[in-house]
Structure formats: C-alpha cells, structure tokens
C-alpha cells in the first residue's frame, strides 16, 4: 500500500473528525459506515487496521482508541480522531485488503491473482462455478462476487477442519451466502454437478481432477488451475492434452510491481512478491472425431 505523502499527512494529523449526526437516510447511504460492516483505518504512516463496526464497540490500537459509534453513520473516506489525538482515515477494505488481513488456515490467493483468475476464467454474472479447495475462502469470495446474485458457486474441500473459518471469512464480505454450497470431500472422486460453466482448481494435484472436470463442464466451459510450481503445471497440461476433451490449453503468470510516487522521487517499490503461482486455463471441447466434429468436405 502506498504510504501517504509525508507533508500532506502531517497536515491531516491536525484535523479533527467531522462532527456529523446520523439520520435514517444516512443508514442506507453507501457513502457512510453501517453497523456490522468492515472498516479499514489507516494511520499517517499508511499502516492498516481492519475492524468490524458494532454499536457500542471500540477500536483499539497503539495510537489510542475510538468508539465505533463515532464512525457508524459517518462518511467512508472520513478522518477519525483517536483518544490520543491521532487522526486516522476510515475506508472500506477492498477484497484485496480483506484477504491480506483476514484470519487464515491454508495459503490464500491474493488480489493480483484473484483478479486474473476471475478474468482469465471469464467468470460472468449468472455462471455456475465449481471450485476446489475452499481453503481459507479467499478465492471463493472473489468467485461469489463475480457470479453475482443469479450465479452459483459449489466448493469442494477435503479437510473439514478448515471449513468454518473459511465460511466465516466469506460471510464477512458476502453476508448472503445462499448461492454458495460446500461439499466436504475429495473432488478427485467426482463432481456431482453437470452443465457447469467453470471449474476452478486451487489444490496440489489437479491432474487427478481432469476427468471429473471434463464430465461436469459444458462444452465451451473453462477449467482453470492455480499452481505454485511449473512441474505441477507440466503434469496438468499433459493430463489435459491426453484426456482429449480439452483444447486451447494456456499457462501464464503475472508479476505486479508497486511504485512510489512523490514530488522528489518516482521509483519502483524496493520490495515485490516475485512469484505467487501459474494460471493454466483449458476449454472443454467436443473431442475431435466424435459428434459435433466439423469434418472437411
């Protein structure tokens, strides 16, 4: 996250939180904080603190404390004074912020890859998506947001112990999870759904799921796998090619580098995440030579 410009943040340090009162109309106003939602506070050094706002609750950090009631009904993007006179910016966390700060069990997928997975798998509003595994729920949350109120996400997770925390993480961002189904089980043993638009795999040996994915996907549907090592990718690609029901098999990775921009200096950030994972996509097709194969005259 970019640190606030030093000069500007010193000025803001002297600001006081705006004295606004909450009306009924404010409670429905997206530009104001509501009870029960997440807030992200930033101090003048750009450090972030995530908090669920509750009536009567208190936010505490080394810079003092702040009653949640001083924030609920007030502007998102407003400035809030702690008991020790420090002024903090209050905003809503993005999904990327939330994933970075949320409680986790298994390794999560971060914002850079979440965005690429949603676009490279072409997840669309109304889609039916099967994923494995649920893990900490980061990818599930991104998928549920992308399929929207008319779509559906079915998560397979082999390790029951991670499910409650993952579902709690998902609900923190998407309170209505009626479009989400969880099966505790091994996706390698088969997918109960048919006519699935997308199968998304974030697990160590996705080549064992190729047959199940091919059976579940509609023709034209997309399989996407996220893998940390290229030898896993090779094994998956060989399995996809030998299955015969997948085409357009492609692999890519992306690197994201932040920049520091101020009046005195414009330069890349000194640190970056050099590697996260490879994304492999494949389109479920009609096997050549079978029904639907367009033979040339």
Binding residues for ligand SAM, per CB under 6 A? Answer: 106-109, 132-133, 135-139, 156-159, 162, 186-188, 202-203
Closer CB to ligand SAM, residue 10 or residue 159?
A: 159
Question: What's the closest the beta carbon of residue 92 comes to ligand SAM, in angstroms?
Answer: 21
- Six-digit token string for 46: 């750009």
Instruction: Give the C-alpha separation, 252 to 247, whole Å.
Output: 16
**CB of residue 204 to ligand SAM, shortest distance in Å:** 6
Which residue's CB is nearer to ligand SAM, number 33 or number 188?
188
Q: Which CB atom, from 68 or from 179, has the smaller least distance to ligand SAM?
A: 179
Minimum CB distance to ligand SAM smaller for 82 or for 169: 169
Q: How far is the CB of 111 from ligand SAM (least distance, A)?
A: 11
Task: Work out the end-to-end distance of the chain between its first and last CA atoms, rounded to an integer number of angstroms.
Answer: 59
What's the closest the beta carbon of residue 194 comes to ligand SAM, in angstroms?
18
Identify the bridge partners of residue 39 per DSSP, sorted by sequence position: 51
Least distance (Å) from ligand SAM to the CB of residue 193?
14
* CB of residue 172 to ligand SAM, shortest distance in Å: 13
Cβ-based nearer residue to ligand SAM, 138 or 153: 138
Asked whether the beta carbons of 292 and 235 are under 8 A apart, the reply is no
The token duo for 111 is 């914002």
Closest distance of CB 163 from ligand SAM, Å: 9
Cα–Cα distance between 22 and 20 in angstroms, integer?
7
DSSP, residue by residue, 77-138: TEEEE-TTS-EEEEEPPPHHHHHHHS--SSPPPPHHHHHHHHHHTT--TT-EEEEE--TTSH
Determine the distance from the C-alpha atom of residue 24 to the mean position of all C-alpha atoms in its chain, rounded to a whole number.
32
51 vs 157, which CB is nearer to ligand SAM?
Answer: 157
Closest separation in Å from C-beta 31 to ligand SAM: 30
Cβ count within 10 A of residue 40: 20
C-beta of 70 vs 157, nearer to ligand SAM: 157
Whichever of 93 and 137 has its CB closer to ligand SAM, that residue is 137
Report long-range pairs for 74-79 (Cβ below 8 Å, ≥24 apart): 74/17, 74/18, 74/20, 74/22, 74/32, 74/33, 75/18, 75/20, 75/31, 75/32, 75/33, 76/30, 76/31, 76/32, 76/33, 76/39, 77/31, 78/17, 78/18, 79/12, 79/15, 79/16, 79/17, 79/18
Structure tokens at 253: 């990775």
């Amino acid at each position: 996250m970019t640190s606030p410009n030093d000069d500007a943040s010193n000025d803001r340090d002297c600001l006081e939180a705006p004295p606004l009162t909450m009306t009924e109309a404010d409670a429905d106003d997206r530009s104001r904080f509501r009870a029960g939602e997440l807030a992200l506070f930033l101090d003048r050094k750009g450090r972030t603190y995530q908090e669920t706002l509750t009536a009567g609750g208190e936010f505490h950090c080394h810079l003092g404390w702040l009653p949640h009631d001083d924030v609920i009904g007030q502007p998102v993007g407003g400035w809030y004074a702690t008991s020790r006179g420090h002024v903090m910016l209050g905003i809503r966390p993005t999904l990327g912020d939330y994933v970075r700060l949320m409680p986790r069990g298994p390794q999560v997928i971060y914002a850079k890859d979440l965005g690429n997975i949603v676009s490279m798998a072409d997840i669309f509003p109304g889609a039916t998506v099967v994923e494995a595994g649920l893990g900490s729920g980061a990818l599930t949350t991104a998928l549920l947001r992308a399929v929207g109120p008319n779509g559906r996400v079915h998560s397979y997770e082999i390790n029951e112990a991670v499910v409650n925390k993952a579902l709690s993480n998902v609900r923190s961002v998407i309170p209505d999870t009626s479009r989400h189904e969880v099966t505790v089980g091994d996706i390698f043993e088969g997918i109960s759904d048919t006519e699935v638009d997308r199968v998304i795999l974030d697990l160590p040996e996705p080549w064992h799921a190729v047959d199940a994915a091919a059976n579940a996907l509609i023709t034209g549907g997309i399989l996407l796998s996220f893998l940390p090592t290229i030898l896993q990718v090779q094994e998956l690609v060989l399995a996809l090619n030998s299955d015969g029901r997948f085409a357009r098999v492609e692999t890519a990775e992306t690197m994201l580098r932040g920049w520091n921009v101020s009046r005195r200096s414009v330069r890349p950030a000194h640190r970056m995440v050099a590697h996260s994972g490879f994304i492999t996509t494949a389109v479920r097709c009609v096997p050549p030579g079978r029904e639907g194969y367009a033979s040339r005259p």
